[in-house]
Copies of this chain bind each other. A is one copy, B any other.
Amino acid sequence: MTAVTDSPGHTESTPYLLIRLASTVDQLFADTARTHGLTAQQAHLICRLVGGPVQMAALGRQLGLEKSGLSGLVDRVERHGLVERVRDSCDRRMWWVRLTGQGQKTAHATHEEVMAGLEALTADLGPAEADLLKAVLERLLTDAPGDAAR
């Protein structure tokens, strides 16, 4: 997603550049996911699990999904053999989602490829410019809304 109206190309305003940047990032992520036979959402899911199992409710919050939507997404990734559901031993209503062995490999590979692609994007910048970009992005996103989700 993301395009609105890129039109010409000569004197693009910052808003348009931001839209194009978002588009580029999204595309990189989708392409990388597809390399591993996954959709972008499925790749997001498994990348969230590299730090260890996560409870369904927490996962839904992180991904900005309704519980029913998450249920289906986990189903599909489970069908790929990348994750499994584990019931919580204390509260039997809760389930944890955990990467399988294959899921770990895929998640790590996907994560690395996305990071490499993004680093390649900024590779041309000199050290000063790179630092500046980082600082400005940090400022932009410090109190930007809509990040916890999605």
Minimal beta-carbon separation of A142 from chain B (angstroms): 9
Q: Collect the chain B residues with CB atoms within 8 Å of residue A55's CB.
A: none
Minimal beta-carbon separation of A134 from chain B (angstroms): 5
Residue A147 CB within 8 A of the other chain: yes
Known: A3-B44, A12-B138, A136-B125. A22 touches B22 (CB 8 A): yes
Tell me if A118 and B18 are in contact (CB < 8 A). Answer: yes
Tell me if B118 and A23 are in contact (CB < 8 A). Answer: no
Known: A2-B25, A23-B147, A26-B150. A125 touches B141 (CB 8 A): no
Residue A66 CB within 8 A of the other chain: no
Q: Which of A46-54, A82-90, A97-105 contacts B (4 or more CB under 8 A)?
A: A46-54
Residue A58 CB within 8 A of the other chain: no
**How many chain copies does the complex carry?**
2
Minimal beta-carbon separation of A138 from chain B (angstroms): 7
Q: Which of B122, B130, B138, B150 contacts A2 (CB under 8 A)?
A: B150
Tell me if B48 and A147 are in contact (CB < 8 A). Answer: no
Q: How far is the CA of A119 from the CA of B15 in the complex (A)?
A: 6
Tell me if A136 and B133 are in contact (CB < 8 A). Answer: yes
Tell me if B144 and A124 are in contact (CB < 8 A). Answer: no
Q: Which of B7, B23, B44 contacts A4 (CB under 8 A)?
A: B44
Tell me if B114 and A4 are in contact (CB < 8 A). Answer: yes
Residue A75 CB within 8 A of the other chain: no
Q: How far is the CA of A51 from the CA of B130 in the complex (A)?
A: 36
